Structure 1
Amino acid sequence: MPVAILCSGQGHQNSAMFSLTESAPEADELFAYCANLLGGVDPRELVKRESIETLHSNRTGQILCTLQALATFETFKSYLPSQIIVAGYSVGEVAAWGIAGLFSPKETLDLVARRAEIMDAESTPGDGLLFIRGLSRNAVDILCTRYGAAISIINPGDAFVVGGGRPALDAIAEAARAANAQRIAFIQVMVASHTNLLNKAADDFRDVLLAAVCSPQSPGVRLISGIDGTTVVDTRAGLAKLARQVSQTVLWSECLRSCVEAGATSFLEFGPGKALSEMVASSYPDVPSRSVDEFSSIAGVVNWIGSHGSP
């Protein structure tokens, strides 16, 4: 039965994010290529010397998170079972297309860089994302309508990411606090991803995607679409959805449900961070779920894959 690979989004970039893969020969070419997208600086050095603010700037953050997923896949792909499911959270969905073989790793990095540039061009300073847990979907919808924001991502367990301008998000955070939300936190993302503020960006990114050269999907891989949780069957239709994801709500809870319904016997998050694997553990406690960020060695990840992924 297949392992579900989860490609993380922005928010958890850190100085140790490449600790497992930085010396892996399988990933060395990717790190070298990515330096061209980061002003000539090796990303392994960049994450150690730059400020948190730089690591969380939109373009740099999207590139680093995508590189994390691709470098991790290159390092561990020979140990993965023949059947895998791949789903990506926010920018992680572009990485998922690369892991599915539809884009080469270098093409995937180039596409993510363009995605970030297009999103930045349509963003206003102060735009961002707010996490809310513990209110109903209806209550969050009402707050978004009242203050001029939108639900960006729907996570399991009454957990939502809301996108909009800073005044709107400040007002929603205050109202959510007054409504006794369990948790409210601003996310270190500087664009209102997956909201209608980026409608033009979605159109522009669609043009970029449709001009890109897609390869046939790798055999044995099931790719999940972020905006509805369905399996990508038709490449062109899937590309259109991948573009719309920039300005449309991501149904992450449905993505996880689809992985389980497709027979996933375990989940492995590629990081950075472990937010996605923790969501799985909370929603599907009987399904083993880990993030590579929880391991201190490549051997540890390999042993876990061997114990939880059938050939």
Structure 2
Amino acid sequence: MRGPARRHDLPRCRREQTVTGVAILCSGQGAQAAGMFDLISDAPEAAPVFAAARRVLDGRDPRDLVRQASPAELHANRAAQILCCTQALAYWAVLGPASPRPVTAAGYSAGELAAWGIAGVIDAETVLDLMARRAILMDEASPTASGLGAVLGLPRTEIEAICRTHDLHIAIVNGPLHVLLGGAVADLEPALAEAQQRGAGRVVMLPVSVASHTPLLHDASERFGELLRQRITGTRLPPGLRLISGVDGAPVWRLEDGLRKLALQIRQTVDWAACMDSCRAARPQRVLDLGPGDALARMAGEAMPDIAVRSVTAFQSLNGIRHWLNA
């Protein structure tokens, strides 16, 4: 006689009808802008995050920095990583306490460290300090004049052939026809030109000055892994929180495994498409991109057309975001 049905024995249609909670997406660098903190600038809940960011920005308040800095300063690796992380943590400090549960947290590139903060594993001050140290390690290990380029519209086999020809690496997989390549700028430029000749729908050199998520940053990955082992001990994932690993989209069940992957993603391809699959499998009622920008919301909307997806940049007020999250 067969025993009681387990969850994975239930009919597929019944499982997929159960939607609950939210998925929170934390962006990496690239979309920093003067108005990125406007909506949360005066929110008292966000003040501790801005204070912590100021300490790792050499005493500069991030709200002043984004309004006063030149584009080059905004996109310098260290400032860029800290600023995008600050935005995610500041928004969550305001929105998190009243957000529906459970929460699925996923972070894109540098945003993955912010996702660990949102999941409640690492406090905001430690996240920002680690982010600053991560950026320094990456700068120290990075070859001069390196970066990332995006290619849309070519299959993986053609991308791999271009990488072999130009000594590049696949840094991020956003989808079957959307990848980021990493390496020396002198190699990226002819590679993007070749991709266009092969029929790519779009190629873009990104405003990033390091070849993130490639073997070129092996040393930074090793050193950051050691730093994580020293700083993050004796913690666990709080109940009602689901944290997604960037390198493979797998949920983090064991802290040690998650931290190892968090360090590995500095030198290993980030599979954002798999992260989106994992978010969709969690069946959230809402998906919110904490920015900066709305790139993650656009990609999530394509990956999850049956789920409501928005970016904080689409709202006029914090109350508007709160009402949407709890609708």
Aligned to 1:106: 125
Aligned to 2:276: 256
SS at match of 1:228: coil
Residues paired across the two proteins, number: 307
Q: 1:61: Cα distance to partner?
A: 0.3
SS at match of 1:13: coil
Which of 204, 220, 224 is the matching residue for 1:185? 204
SS at match of 1:5: strand
Structure 1 contact 226–255 (Cα < 8 Å) conserved: yes
In structure 2, how many angstroms separate the alpha carbons of the residues matched to 1:173 and 1:77? 40
Q: Comparing 10-19 with 25-34, which one deviates more in the overlay? A: 25-34
Structure 2 letter corresponding to 1:208:
L
Which of 115, 129, 146 is the matching residue for 2:134? 115
Q: 1:157: Cα distance to partner?
A: 4.6
In structure 1, how many angstroms separate the alpha carbons of the residues matched to 2:204 and 2:292? 18
Aligned to 1:32: 51
Q: 1:285: Cα distance to partner?
A: 1.4
Which of 3, 12, 18 is the matching residue for 2:37? 18
Structure 2 contact 221–267 (Cα < 8 Å) conserved: yes
Residue 238 (structure 2) pairs with residue 218 (structure 1): yes
Q: Which has the greater radius of gyration?
A: 2
Alignment of 1:33-182 (within 5 A): 33-182=52-201
Aligned to 2:16: none
Q: 1:280: Cα distance to partner?
A: 1.3
Q: 1:82: Cα distance to partner?
A: 2.1
In structure 2, how many angstroms separate the alpha carbons of the residues matched to 1:252 and 1:174? 25
In structure 2, how many angstroms separate the alpha carbons of the residues matched to 1:291 and 1:228? 24
Aligned to 1:236: 256
Q: 1:263: Cα distance to partner?
A: 1.8
Residue 288 (structure 2) pairs with residue 297 (structure 1): no
Aligned to 2:221: 202
Q: Which runs of 5+ in 1 are unaligned?
A: none
Could you say what the CA RMSD is over the residues aligned between the two structures, in angstroms?
0.9
Q: 1:283: Cα distance to partner?
A: 2.2
In structure 1, how many angstroms separate the alpha carbons of the residues matched to 2:48 and 2:304? 36
In structure 1, how many angstroms separate the alpha carbons of the residues matched to 2:176 and 2:232? 38
Structure 2 letter corresponding to 1:245:
Q
Structure 2 letter corresponding to 1:135:
L
- Which digits, 9 at most, give the CA deviation of each residue in 1:124-163, with x for residues without a partner? 2210000110000111011001100000000025100100
Structure 1 contact 102–216 (Cα < 8 Å) conserved: yes
Aligned to 2:305: 285
Q: 1:171: Cα distance to partner?
A: 1.3
SS at match of 2:172: strand
In structure 1, how many angstroms separate the alpha carbons of the residues matched to 2:176 and 2:160? 16
Structure 1 contact 157–283 (Cα < 8 Å) conserved: no
In structure 2, how many angstroms separate the alpha carbons of the residues matched to 1:167 and 1:33? 37
In structure 2, do the counterparts of structure 1 residues 170 and 31 end up closer, same or farther at CA, with 3 Å as the change threshold?
same
Q: Which runs of 5+ in 2 are unaligned?
A: 1-19
In structure 1, how many angstroms separate the alpha carbons of the residues matched to 2:200 and 2:255? 40
Q: Comparing 126-135 with 152-161, which one deviates more in the overlay? A: 152-161
Which runs of 4 or more aligned residues in structure 1 lie more than 6 Å from their structure 2 counterparts after TM superposition? none
In structure 2, how many angstroms separate the alpha carbons of the residues matched to 1:16 and 1:280? 23
In structure 2, how many angstroms separate the alpha carbons of the residues matched to 1:213 and 1:267? 28
Between the aligned residues of both structures, percent identity stands at 42
SS at match of 2:181: strand
Structure 1 contact 79–305 (Cα < 8 Å) conserved: no
